[in-house]
Every structure is written in C-alpha cells, then in structure tokens.
A = this chain, B = another copy of it.
Amino acid sequence: MHAAWLPPEAWRAIGTRPARVDGEGLLVQTVLDELNAAHAAFGGGPGAPQLVLALSPTADGGPEGYSLGRSDGVTTVLAEAPAGLLYGLFHVVRLGEAAFADDFPATVHRPVHARRMLDHWDNVDRHPVMGQVERGYSGGSIFWRDGVALRDEARVKAYARLVAATGINAVAVNNVNVHATEAHLLTDRLDEVAWLADVFRPYGIRVHLSVSFNAPMLLGGLPTADPLDPSVAAWWAAVTKNVYDAIPDFGGYVVKADSEGQPGPFGYGRSHADGANVLADALAPYGGVVHWRAFVYNHRQDWRDRSTDRARAAYDHFAPLDGQFRDNVILQVKYGPIDFQTREPVSPVIAAMARTRVAVELQVTQEYTGQQQHVCYLGPQWSETLSFPLAEPRTVSELSTGGLVAVSNVGDDEYWTGHPLAQANLYAFGRLAWDPTLSPSAVLDEWISLTFPGAEAVLRETLHAMMDHSWRTYELYTAPLGVGFMVKPHYHYGPDIDGYEYSPWGTYHFADRDGIGVDRTRATGTGYTGQYPPPWCDIYESLSTCPDELLLFFHHVPYGHVLHSGKTVIQHIYDTHFEGVERVRALRPLWERVAGLVDPALHARVAERLDEQLRCAIEWRDQINTYFYRKSGVPDAHGRTIYA
C-alpha cells in the first residue's frame, strides 16, 4: 500500500536527530514507537536531544493541544495530555527541517473542533447494488470483505496513523445504511468492532458504530422499537453496557433514521428527539454520544408537485425540535440542504439549532464530484462552507458545536483513494477540522511536501495548477449555477440532464423552452429562502442580490436573464462548459511535465484518470450544451460547435 503523506522520507528530519520523550500512557508509547522507527530508519539515536516531547501539567492546549517552539537548539513540544504529544509530533513531521533550523517562539495549537470524525460507509456483506463500500470509489473496504472481518492489522494501523496525522480522532466504522448483517456489529459481532477499536486506539481515535433504529426488534426480539417504550430503553441500556464493557472508550452511535427507507421514530408516531434521546440516555453514563443524522426527507416525492421542496425538509423536521435533544445528541447535518452537490447553499438547519449540538457533515468521497476519476480538490469547498457567516458574525464552523464529520473516501486500493490525488481530500478534511481557518492552498502545499518529499518546484507548481481550482473546474463543466444533479440516476457519475427530472427524489431543474431553475423564494416559490436568518433570507430571495453561482438553486429565470457577470444564463452555460473542458484538456500536458518526478506507477494511474476525466468532461459539455440549445434555440454567441 502507498505511504500517502507519511513516506519514510517525511521522517528524515526527526529520524536523524536525538530526541527525548517525557511521559507515560498509550499515546506516549505511540510517540516513542514512531520516534524509534524514525531513528532506526535514519540513524538518529542517543545523544543530546534536539527534540523534546514532554507531558506537562502546566502546558496549555487542553486534552489534545500542545505548544511547539524551539530555543537553544532544542525543539520542544509540551502537552497536557498524551494526545497533544502525538499531534505535536505530527506537527514536527509537517515542518520537517524547518522544525530544527532557526529558533522560534513557542505557540499553542489546539483543535477548533473537539471531535473530528470520518464516517465509513463500509458494508460487512457486499451489498448487491451498493457493493462493499457504499459510494466507495477505491475498491473494497479495509475492514470487511464479503461478510467477513478482514482483521488486516497492518492496513488498519496504517490508516489510523495517516488520519491521526491529519488530526482525526473519531471513526464510524460502518455504513449509515445498516443492513441485516451489519446490524449485528452491535451485539454478536461486537468483537469485530472491539478489534478495530484496539487498532485505532494507539492513534487517539475512538470508534463509533452505525446502528439500526430497529435494533431492539432485529437483534433483541422485542415487539417494538418505540423509543418511549421502557423495554426498548432498557434494551438499549443493556446493549450499550455490553459495548462499553468491550470498548471502554467507545465513541457512540451514528443513526440514519426515517431516511431513504431506514426505520426511525416516525414508525412509532414519535419525534426525532424521542428517537435520539433513547440512544443518548443509554450512552450518557459512559460519555458516549449519538450522531443523529438530519438527512430526513420524502424520497417518494411526486415530480408533478411543485410545492413540496426537498431543500426545506431537514429544517421543517428539526428546527421545531431545538431544545428537546439531550446534551449528548449531536445533530449531524449535511453542509447543504440537498445532498453533497458540487455547489449548494449552506444548510439553514445549521443556524436553526441554537440549543442543540450540531456537526456539519462533509463528503470526502467524491460521490457527486467525479468519483475519484476526476481531479477535484475539495479543500476550497469546505473552507468556503466552514467560513460562511450563516448567523452573522458566526460562521458555519462556529455553529458546528458538535464537531465535524465527513464521509471517508478510502478503500483497499493500493493508493487508498483510487485517484492518488484524491488523498489530498482526506488530508485536507482532517486539517480543516482541526483548524478551519487554514488556507486550502496551504493545506494542499503541506500535502504535496509530505507526499512527494523533496518535491521540485516544478512538481509543486504543477500540482497546485492542477488542483487548486479543480473544484471550480468540475463545477464549470457539470450542472450550472447551483441547479445540481443532472447526473446519471443511482450512479451519480456522468451527465443525464433529465435523469432525475421526473423521479421521486425531489431533485429537479424544471428546464423548459423558456427558462430553468427552482423558485424557492417566499414571494412566488416554495418559501425555502425564509429558512435563512438575515441577511441571507433576503439576499437569496432577490434576483438582484442572489449570487450567480446559486442563482438556479433559488430562482427560475429565463435563458436570457443577465447574470451579475454580465452574461445571459444561456451564454454562461455554453461558456462555462467550453471553458471547463479546456481546463481539463490542459491537465494531461501539465502532468506529463512531471513524468520523471513521481513514481511511474502513480504517474500512470493519474494519467489514465486524466484521460477519463477529459472524456467525461467532453460528454458533460456536449450533453449540457445540446440539451439547452435544443430547449432554448439560442445559438452560441461565439459560434462554437454545439451538436444539434
């Protein structure tokens, strides 16, 4: 397997210098083991320490933070708790030789978000439709194969180490869609979860488990899973005690309830607060939390019904429940109101739950953003989302009082992520969860330095040129102006402009011969804009202030509508799609320039995917342009080829 951002070379600066570690505990031992391995590789051994990592009761930074400075030729990490030493060590790795050059004053580093979590949508059985990993584009699961626990310690440990180095401290190990086999992880297959917890623990990562709301019936033989039924509460309490007996630092449960066919409290006439609280009560004695997903909507909508609006659903369901959730319930809210689209407005739910802990959910796996066939560095999307002042002056990151969550993009692929450059997304999520104010380009630069140690300037520049704006490039050649979807049903890869237009999924663009877009205004549409606090409720409501990139999410406009950019909607569609393809076309020659600077196999893997990206981008361009030319009848102002 590929070393990703922790190749041996990344440890050279540390491995060539004597070090000292003061402290005790499992994670201190991990720090020692890492240092010993680095010293073994690079010959640094005994001697006057140039690096000191020490536990200190007076250190600043809290349970995971640390101070880092250098004086008198000694680089020093001080931490209050062992986790801080581990994160401090990885900080020194990132700095490389710079950590041991000039002195610099000690500064304190602590994570902005206490819980930085990856959700694995891994199945235990290979699901007949979704496969081993739902929305996985990197091969099979690193945890299970065909119903059997893999117990591949080397692989899982390598993963734990990689994500710990980015700052991740929580992993949910199975798919939120909990099928029959997977349900048993909670009880008779708990040993498989405990085994994973044992491997993750030395890297400061707690394990969480997705559970079925109907577990009391599926596994407990109860006649109901009604959250207000005392026998149900007792069952959850007993089962949860067993979990903590096996995994004392177990993180908690993840629940997708009343969503896309999963069972939930609605089945018993109960609210989602009732549903979440019964699990929360079972977890509370042990310090566990329940991540309760807000992804609740009608997935059997009638496309004829223009009044129902899927974008409204989560707010309509959850905002009235604010204040009713236990303290150890974390409402897990997708960043946008629909579903991980390339461009969506931020979900208004995030600002609507002042008395509820909220965790924003991002998607590292590129379900709608090219499925790890396309270069699409998502750091800029996440940065933009997290810094968005949804409840001014409070940003989305500040409103995410329950931490951050993202769906992992990892599988048993030799490069972990299918597309080698998609490793950067996994890296960036961890780093932005630790500090959302980091510049995505700077994070990318860190990733380049670590992954390609000694990267020559041309490689660094090339990767920045290919990746910094790749999200925007992807947006250019796919669904325009925030309208979303237009992807192949079920697969979500490649264009199908009408693929969801007459479906029950609630994801429509309403294009006709005159115009396109979804009217979500209060004045004439679904009223969704009213779910936003000021000023956004007014900014989005008005055609004159709605940002171009979200125009079709909020408004239905004629093709001749003039954007703030000065272009008409139809000409914008043509221009962005021609430009998007040209941007993609430029990638392959860029990549060829660095052919001798990276491992040939990795180079070949990326090259092959760039070819597929270009093929697919051309398909997007031509289908979108032809579709809208056929509908609008408006020719391209520049006379480029649009197929009739």
Contacts and interface: CB of A to CB of B under 8 A. Distances in A.
B304 A513 contact: no
Number of copies: 2
A511 B619 CA distance: 19
A151 interface: no
Contacts of A626: 304, 502
A84 to B, nearest CB: 50
Interface string A616-644: 00010011001101111100000000011
A630 B502 contact: no
A633 B498 contact: no
Contacts of A643: 303-304
B622 A304 contact: yes
Contacts of A623: 502
Contacts of A146: none
A510 B629 CA distance: 12
Contacts of A502: 495-497, 619, 623, 626-627
Interface size class of A (residues with CB under 8 A): 20 to 34
Interface string A487-507: 000000001111000100000
A197 B472 CA distance: 64
A643 B307 CA distance: 12
Contacts of A512: 629-631, 633, 644
Q: In terms of DSSP, what is the predominant structure of the interface of chain A?
A: loop
A510 B619 CA distance: 17
A643 B501 CA distance: 13
A605 interface: no
Contacts of A633: 512-514
Contacts of A498: 496-498, 627
A306 interface: yes
Nearest to A622: B304
Given A498-B498, A502-B623, A306 B631 contact: no
Contact of A513 (B495, B622, B630): B630
Interface string A507-523: 00011111000000000
6 contacts: A304-B626, A306-B644, A496-B502, A498-B498, A512-B630, A513-B632
7 closest A-B pairs by CB: A512-B630, A304-B643, A498-B498, A513-B513, A502-B623, A513-B633, A513-B631
Given A304-B643, A502-B623, A514-B633, 6 more contacts: A306-B644, A497-B502, A498-B498, A512-B629, A513-B631, A630-B631
